[in-house]
Structure 1
Amino acid sequence: MFGKLRNSGFSLTEVLMAAGILAIGFVFIAGMFPVGVKLTALAAEQTIAPIAVDEAIAKIKLYADPNFVGALWQAQLRSGSAYIDFSDLMLQRGFPIDQDEFTYPSADIRPELKKYHWSALCRRIGLRDVHVIVFVSRKAGAGARYRYYDQFNAFHNDGRWPVPVKMVVGVGDDERRLIIGTQDQRSYISTGSTIVDDATGRVYRVLKRRLDNDNIVFKLDRKLEGYVAPPANVSVWVVPPAVGSGRNPCVRVDPTHTIRF
C-alpha cells in the first residue's frame, strides 16, 4: 500500500527570515555605496593633484621671464609679504595670464566643466632661485564663488575659482592654536584646512575648530615654528570655502619646488 504524497516547502517563519536577511543586505549595500563613491572621488583627486602641480611648475617656467626674480623681490619688499601670488605678480607687471591656464586640464574639454585649479605662491630665496608653493583646489559647482584678495590693490572680491588668500591670525599660548577674531574671515579656516605660514613657508593642517569667548580657535597638527613668545599675530595663507559653503576646496599643498631662473 502506497503512502500519500506529502506536500513540502518553506514555512512562513523561514520565508520571513530570508526576507529579513535580504533586507539587511540591501541596507548594507545602500550604506556602502556612498562611501565607495566618496573614496573613488578622493582617489581621483589624489591622482590629479600631483599632475596639476607638475603642470603648474612647467607653466611658471614658461611664463616667467628673466626679470621675474627681480620683480618678485621688489614685490616682497613693497607688500611686506614673504610670498607673492604668481598670478597677481604677472598682472601687476603688465603680463596678465588667461585664467584658463590655471585650470586643470588646461585643454578645452567642453561640454564638460573644469573642476580643478592651481595657484602658486613665490618667494625669492637667492639671486636666481625662487621657492614655489603650489595649491591645487577643486571647485564645488559651476555657480560657486570664492573669496579673492589682490595683494597689490588691497581689495576683497568674489572670483570663479578657489585661490589662497592671506589673513592675519593670533597665536595661542601653546603655539598650536590659532585665533580668529575678525567676523568676516571666520569661515575661511575650518577643520581639515591646510594653511601656510607666510614667514616660513611651512605647511600646517587644522585638526579642530571651536568657539571660545566670541573668537574662533583652531588647533594645528604641530606647533608653529619660529615663534617663541606667544601670543602674537602671524600671517597665513589658506584657500577659503565657497561663499555660503563650509566645504574645504583645497586638495593639495605642495611646498617642495625651487625654480632656478
Structure 2
Amino acid sequence: MKLKIKKTAFSLTEVLMAAGILSIGIMLVATMFPAALYLTTTASEKTMAAIVADEAFAKMQLFGIVDPTKSTERFVRYWQDMSNKIDQDEYIYPSFSGNAQYSWVPLCKKLNSDSEDMRYLVKVFVTRKTNPNQKFYTDATYSDANDWPVPVATNSFVFISPKYLKLTRGEEQELINPPPSTIIVDNVSGRIFRIVNRNDDKVTLDRDWDKDIKEPEIILYIPSGIGPDGKPSGKNPDIEVFQKIIDFGKK
C-alpha cells in the first residue's frame, strides 16, 4: 500500500492577508514613532525645566538682588545687576558647562512700594537650544545676536478679540513660531498666556485674555533663533515659565 504525502502550505489568500496585516503594522509603527518621540522629548524638557527653575530660584536667593528702580509697575530684568556679581555662566544649566543646552532668565517686580519690604514676584523663563552655534535676538533690537535666548518686550500688536492678536511689526510675524506654543507674559500683571497658532500676522491665544486685567501695552516672549542668513529660524526655544515670590530681605 502506497502512502501519499500530504502537502500543506499557505494559500495565496493567506499569504496576501499576512502581508497586508504586516504592512498595516509597519505603517502604525512608522506613524506612532514620531509622535512617541515628540512626547518623550517634551516630557524630558518639562522635567529638566523644573530642575533648572529650582536651581535658578536658589541662586537668586543666594546672590540677592540689585534693583535701583524698585518698580512695582512692571517687570525688570534680574540680570541687569549693577554690581555684576553674577557670572553669566551661572544662567546656563549645567553651570559652566561646555555642553549646556538649558538656560534661564528671571524677571522681577516688587510687590509693593514699602522700601523695607523686599518681596518680589519672580518669573523665570527656562529655554533650551540644541544647536551650540545658534544665536538669538536680544530685546530692544532685532539686529544684535545673543548666545542664549532672552525675553523680548514688544508693543507691536492690537487685539482683534479677547483671544486673537494682530501683530503690527514684521519681526514678530517671523519671530513667533509655534508649535507647540509660544509663552507670553503681560509686563504689568505678570499673567501667563500661550500663543498656540500663528497665521501670518494673526495669533491665537490658548484662552481669552483675563477680564480682570486690562489689555496689555507690552508683552514679553522668547523669540526664535537666528539662522545663518540672519533671518529667524526654527521654533521658539522657550519651554516653560515658572514663578515664585522671593523675599530678598531674608538671608
For normalisation by structure 2, the TM-score amounts to: 0.83
Shift, 1:186, TM fit: 2.1
Which residue identity does 1:252 align to in structure 2?
E
**Is 2:245 the counterpart of 1:257?**
yes
Judging by fraction of residues, say which structure has more helix.
Answer: 1
- Is the CA contact 2:128–2:238 (under 8 Å) kept in the aligned structure 1? yes
Q: Distance in 1 between matches of 2:242 and 2:143?
A: 25
Q: Distance in 2 between matches of 1:5 and 1:210?
A: 71
**Is 2:119 the counterpart of 1:129?**
yes
Shift, 1:125, TM fit: 1.6
Shift, 1:60, TM fit: 1.0
Shift, 1:174, TM fit: 3.0
Which residue identity does 2:130 align to in structure 1?
A
- Is the CA contact 2:138–2:146 (under 8 Å) kept in the aligned structure 1? yes
**Is 2:8 the counterpart of 1:19?**
no
Q: Distance in 2 between matches of 1:227 and 1:120?
A: 24
The partner residue of 2:191 within 194, 202, 211 is 202
Q: Distance in 2 between matches of 1:256 and 1:195?
A: 17
Shift, 1:156, TM fit: 5.1
**Is 2:217 the counterpart of 1:234?**
yes
Give CA deviations for 1:162-212 in whole Å, capped at 9, x if unaligned.
11111113332533332221122322334421100001111111133234x
- Is the CA contact 1:175–1:223 (under 8 Å) kept in the aligned structure 2? yes
Match of 1:6 in 2: 6
Shift, 1:131, TM fit: 1.1
Match of 1:184 in 2: 171
Q: Distance in 1 between matches of 2:110 and 2:245?
A: 12
Q: Distance in 2 between matches of 1:124 and 1:226?
A: 18
Which residue identity does 1:163 align to in structure 2?
V
Q: Which SS does the other structure have where 1:43 is aligned?
A: helix
Which residue identity does 2:218 align to in structure 1?
S
Which residue identity does 2:172 align to in structure 1?
Q
Which residue identity does 1:248 align to in structure 2?
N
> Which runs of 4 or more aligned residues in structure 1 lie more than 6 Å from their structure 2 counterparts after TM superposition?
none
Which residue identity does 2:78 align to in structure 1?
F
Match of 1:58 in 2: 58
* Pairing of 1:21-36 with structure 2 (within 5 A): 21-36=21-36
Shift, 1:44, TM fit: 0.7
Pair 177,258 (structure 1): closer, same or farther in 2 beyond 3 Å: farther
Q: Distance in 2 between matches of 1:242 and 1:207?
A: 18
- Is the CA contact 1:203–1:255 (under 8 Å) kept in the aligned structure 2? no
Q: Distance in 2 between matches of 1:28 and 1:3?
A: 47
Pair 107,6 (structure 1): closer, same or farther in 2 beyond 3 Å: same
Match of 1:106 in 2: 95
Q: Distance in 1 between matches of 2:188 and 2:64?
A: 23
**Is 2:133 the counterpart of 1:143?**
yes
**Is 2:108 the counterpart of 1:116?**
no
Shift, 1:55, TM fit: 0.7
Q: Distance in 2 between matches of 1:164 and 1:222?
A: 22
Match of 1:217 in 2: 202
Between 15-24 and 127-136, report the one with greater CA deviation. Answer: 15-24
CA-based RMSD of the aligned residues comes to 2.4
Q: Percent identity?
A: 31
